[in-house]
Structure 1
């Protein structure tokens, strides 16, 4: 923690949480905003559904690759410069997407978007731990998740409105405007939270040794799996939304927002409860509660989908409850990861985000296309991904400590 933290931010704590949440929302916002326009973009530029799926995979893999560097760079050069450069590149990439006339160009700029969007979410985690002791950091992390949760609910509604009333290009022009406003807000408000005595020398061999030591730490790897893989049990449904909601549940595009509202409502409720429990119950107990919720609802989801045809009135609820369980435990696991290496929190945040993002990219490019056309297959895949996280958590608790 920065010893001068109390002098760096004098506004209410929720205001810093809101600023950091806006940074973190760039990633999900730039995914969910253009989902309602998927088929329209394909028709406009002559792309196949598979090629359109690559615009999502390119974004997610770009996000994963650069996540290895955002946090480590912020350990050396400071949190503020990395955030400002990341938002600036995101803004340029959004304009590139808006101007794209060919699928190859769109895939390229989507990859650049992904490479830059991660700066916000990676560095914001390190900023929280720079500024607050553990219990307060968990409360702020939970507040960030609550605010952050609004973006994916609003994004498809904004994207659908822009697509219907303008065209798909307007979606990316909107993201360009968001990038400009966010850059100005952080340039004006975000303090440098990394204390001068805590800066690490930017030395490539030293950096690689740090990655090797952290990557070889079984506790880190298992905690990263416990937080990142279960997210895909929910994210799989977001990635499959056009097919899941349109073809399987027979919802019109302007009804998609119900799914996102329910899911994000689950995230916000879980995050709120996580913040309320901070300092009141043991962290391991809170994580256990989150996994119990996810396990029970995942099993129920599989059973319902095997027994009954998917229907809109019930099929979206298990995803929302799953999101509640994930949000209940993930702030605690994230803080555990950051505290493994107090002198390289940026690197820890980077590597944790990279593990999750690689999983996201694999699910988007390989798993989602295989299972999105079957409600039982979606439910089983979601259960399996939650199971990986559960096994990782049980293993770290019993065998690593």
Structure 2
């Protein structure tokens, strides 16, 4: 059951979308800003390429592990306390990164950063569904994705500028300032959207019952895979950006924005289209269109890389098309996950984020190092990740009850 949003949030809805998008973007923003400084950090700390990759893997692993708990905590203690605690920890971890003098210390604080940023992603989804009925929630989630898309587009530009002019330490100092600003903003304006009467017990037995209920749901796992794994088809390129852009495409640190601009442009346009479709197009048809677009984009990407060496602009255009297809379907699938167990939306959001971030960590630690030096390898791996999500969706369609065919999420 959704709260009447007008009685909880008095400001314009776009302002709520901006706030929730900023909370959601903190995770990817913390990755994209430091990627242009990868080589500089390695030289400064005398770190090997493998050790630098661990700064990314540790962040993603911390994000994945702590996501198991953000939602359960938010279901038990409310949305605001969890977000505020996460922001304070993020700010302190960012300062730790800025002051690091050894790669091991940087890995430790990056893991702490990852553990804290998941709170914003998990809780923002639950807040949307707390406040809005299905079709309006899809529109709001799409609007959040549009605003969210601005941050990754500007993050590598800011990161490259800070690195070139002030050094890599300034990147993490800047992230600490972002953490302070977000903490103040949430403290002042974000309402509590989970009434005390709807909060779940934090008793371990009650929590285990909730986790087992979700863990034994085949539909939950298939929907989580359908939305989370295809994202890695894009994220693989983000993880490989220093090599893909610097070595294969020959771009400098301040030119990385072309890649992020194409990807984020596709995400923003797809999210805008998804919002326009809310309540007008059958959810299954929208998801089918999204996967169809990603399939075409993957085939184009692989085919062109087999024929020609990667060059601008064609090497980036299929990636933008892929991002468009993913953004078209992900708000619908996410809301399906949240509505499987309405009393445990926070926990559902947590586990969904955990599935996605665990896949992110595996791709970062295992797959990306294997394929990042080959344009064909990147395209092939991206296509395989998309295929996993498509297979999950085809399987879950057969297990969905009839009411999902009649009601838009």
Q: TM-score, normalised by structure 2?
A: 0.97
- The offset of 1:4, in angstroms, is 4.6
- Of 167-176 and 206-215, more deviation after overlay is shown by 206-215
SS across alignment from 2:3: coil
- Conservation of the 8 A alpha-carbon contact between 2:219 and 2:399: no
| More moved, 276-285 vs 204-213 | 204-213
1:69 offset after TM fit, Å? 0.5
Deviation at residue 256 of structure 1 after TM alignment: 0.9
Distance in 1, Cα, partners of 2:233 & 2:304: 16
Q: Are the equivalent residues in 2 in contact too, given 1:2–1:193 (CA < 8 A)?
A: no
Query: 3-state SS of the aligned residue for 1:267?
Result: helix
Partner Cα distance (2:4, 2:246) in 1: 52
Q: CA deviation at 1:400?
A: 4.5
Structure 1 residue 6 displacement after superposition: 2.5
> Which position in structure 2 is the counterpart of 1:239?
239
SS at 1:115's partner residue?
A: helix
Partners of 1:174 and 1:255 lie apart in 2 by 20
**2:26 counterpart of 1:26:** yes
Instruction: Indicate whether 1:382 and 2:382 are aligned.
Output: yes
Q: 1:98 aligns to what?
A: 98
Q: Whole-Å Cα distance in 2 between the matches of residues 399 and 86 of structure 1?
A: 36
SS at match of 2:200: coil
Aligned pair count reads 401
Mapped partners of 1:93, 1:398: distance in 2: 44
- Does 1:137 pair with 2:137? yes
Q: Show the counterpart of 1:126.
A: 126
- Asked whether the 8 Å contact 1:297–1:318 carries over to 2, the reply is yes
Alpha-carbon distance in structure 2 between the residues aligned to 1:328 and 1:44:
41
1 CA distance for matches of 2:13 and 2:5? Answer: 12
Residue 285 of structure 2 is aligned to residue 285 of structure 1: yes
Does the 8 A contact of 1:153 with 1:261 survive in 2?
yes
Q: 1:114-150: per-residue Cα shift (whole Å, max 9, x none)?
A: 0000000100000000000000000000000011111
Paired with 1:121 and 1:291, the residues of 2 have a C-alpha distance of 23
- State the match for 1:397 in structure 2: 397
Q: 1:306-357: CA deviations, max 9, x gaps? A: 1111112210111111000000000000000000000000000000000000
CA contact (8 A) 1:218 1:400 kept: no
* Post-superposition offset of 1:31: 0.4
Whole-angstrom CA distance in 1 between matches of 2:160 and 2:88? 25
Distance 2:378 2:224 in 1: 23
Give the match's secondary structure for 1:258: helix
Contact 2:223 2:337 (C-alpha < 8 Å) held by counterparts: yes
Distance 1:306 1:319 in 2: 16
Q: Which residue does the alignment assign to 2:362?
A: 362
Aligned: 1:85 with 2:85: yes
- How far is the alpha carbon of 1:213 from its aligned partner? 1.2
Q: Which residue number in structure 2 is paired with residue 9 of structure 1?
A: 9
Is this contact kept in 2: 1:2–1:194, CA < 8 A? no
Which residue does the alignment assign to 1:193? Answer: 193
| 8 Å contact from structure 1 (residues 26, 117) kept in 2 | yes
Distance 1:165 1:82 in 2: 36
How far, CA to CA, are the matches of 2:281 and 2:356 in structure 1?
27
Does the 8 Å contact 2:3/2:132 carry over to 1? no
Give the 3-state SS of the residue equivalent to 2:230 in structure 1. helix
SS class of match (1:314): coil
Q: Could you tell me which residue of structure 1 aligns to residue 35 of structure 2?
A: 35
Contact 1:145–1:267 (CA under 8 A) maintained in structure 2: yes
Query: Matches of 1:377 and 1:98 in 2, distance apart?
Result: 34
1:398 deviates by 2.1
Q: Which residue of 2 aligns with 1:161?
A: 161
* Cα contact 1:25–1:121 (8 A) shared by 2: yes
Q: Is the 8 A contact 1:57 1:361 kept in 2?
A: yes
Per the TM alignment, residue 2 of structure 1 is displaced from its structure 2 partner at its CA by: 4.0
What is the RMSD of the two structures over their aligned residues, measured on CA atoms? 0.8
Runs of 4+ that moved beyond 3 A: 1-5
Gaps of 5+ in 1: none
Aligned-partner Cα distance in 1 for 2:164–2:397: 50
1:204 alignment partner in structure 2: 204
For 1:400 and 1:376, locate their aligned partners in 2 and report how far apart those are by CA, in whole Å: 36
Query: TM-score if structure 1 supplies the norm length?
Result: 0.99
Q: In structure 1, the residue corresponding to 2:314 is in which secondary structure?
A: helix
**Is the CA contact 2:3–2:193 (under 8 Å) kept in the aligned structure 1?**
no
